Amino acid sequence: MNIFLKSAGKQEGTPCVSNMVQLGDFFYLSGQTGLGETIQEQTITAINKVIDVLSNYGLQLHHVVKFTVYLKNIEDKDAFLNTFKNFVDEPFPACTIVEVSNLADNATVCIEGLGVNTLRHEEQMQQSSCSHDCSSCGGGCH
């Protein structure tokens, strides 16, 4: 057992795979598959699963610095990106998109991610910007 890893719970339908593990500030998000009839529907459901897993740590999509996307049909790449762009902001994450012969649960898209948990650093930055040297404002005053 690795006592340095933190886990966000097991991936649904698997006896021994975590949804996400964190080691220090780095995290590794297991692939989340899409549901639905179209690549757009599957992209939305897969991204929402990613968001749900991240929320277990208080994280958001902007904490993911690299995505790997597995598509059953590489010709869906443009449709995937046209939907995916609605969930990410600049500076955009790195992303690799590859075609695979098959995905679990009859999915056409699977999204995994690597990232950095910067929450500790974000909190320190907020606290250091407090001009009243107090803790009652939570670092939000200027």
Which spans in 1-142 are helix H?
Answer: 39-55, 77-84, 119-128
Q: Can you give the pTM of this predicted structure?
A: 0.82
Residue 140 lies in a domain: no
d(C-alpha 29, C-alpha 34), whole Å: 15
Residue 136 lies in a domain: no
CATH of the domain at 38: 3.30.1330.40
Q: At 26, which helix (H) or strand (E)?
A: strand 26-33
How much is the average pLDDT of 5-12?
A: 75
Q: Which domain holds residue 95?
A: 25-117
The DSSP output letter for 34 is -
Residue 57 lies in a domain: yes
What does the pLDDT look like over 57-107, one tens digit per residue? 889 999 999 999 999 999 999 999 999 999 999 999 999 999 999 999 899
- Number of folded domains in the chain? 1
Residue 6 lies in a domain: no
